[in-house]
Amino acid sequence: MKHELWELQQMQSMSLNAKIQMTRTRIKGWIKEYGEEGVYVSFSGGKDSTVLLDIVRQDYPSVKAMFVDVPTQYPELKEFVQTFDNVDIVKPKISFAEVCKKYGFPLISKEVSESVQGARKYLTSLLKNESVLTDRQTDRQTDRASVSVLVRQSNRAREISEKGGYP
C-alpha cells in the first residue's frame, strides 16, 4: 500500500498509542487472511523488529519469528535473538559474494541494482559493437572513452564484490 507524503507526515504525528493500534489492526488483517500459521515476523534482533515482535505476540503468542543468520552480524545479536521463544534461525543458501556474482551488487534498491546491471550490459555492448549509433544516441554525444571508463569501474566493483567486499 503506497501512501502520499502528506499521509506519511500525518501518521508520523500520531500518538504512540494510535500508532500501536494501527499496527495491531494491520496484524489482525494479516492473521485473518493467512492464519497464525501463515504469518511470521522477520526478526533481525534490532529495535524495530523487537518492538514489532512484542506487539504481535501480545495478541498472537504462537506466531513464529524468523531470523536470518549471516556471517556479517555481531555474535551478540544472535545470542539476543536466541533468548526469544519460537524463533526459527535460518542461514542463506548462497553467500553474499555469490549473490553479487549472480544478481549484481545490491545498491539502494533492487530497482536501482537492475538499472545499473542493464546499463552495464548496454555499455559493454557499445564497446563491442561497432555499429552506427542511433540519432538519439548521437544527439547525446556518446563518448566511447567515457563508456570504457564506466565499464571498467563497473567490472572492478563486481570483482571486489566477488572476492567478498572491500578489505
**Percent of all residues in the chain with a pLDDT value above 90, rounded to a whole number:** 46
| 5-90 to CATH, choices 3.30.420.40, 3.40.800.20, 3.30.420.140, 3.40.50.620 | 3.40.50.620
Domain limits of the chain? 5-90, 96-162
Of 95 and 21, the structure prediction assigns the larger pLDDT to 21
Query: What is the pTM assigned to this prediction?
Result: 0.58
Spatial strand order of the sheet with 40-42 comes to 40-42, 64-68, 87-90
pLDDT of residue 82: 96
Distance CA 2, CA 100 (A): 29
**What secondary structure letter does DSSP report for 133?**
P
CB 24 within 8 A of CB 55: yes
As a whole number, the mean pLDDT across the chain is: 80
pLDDT tens for each residue of 113-159: 777 777 878 777 777 764 444 444 444 444 444 445 455 555 555 56
pLDDT of residue 146: 47
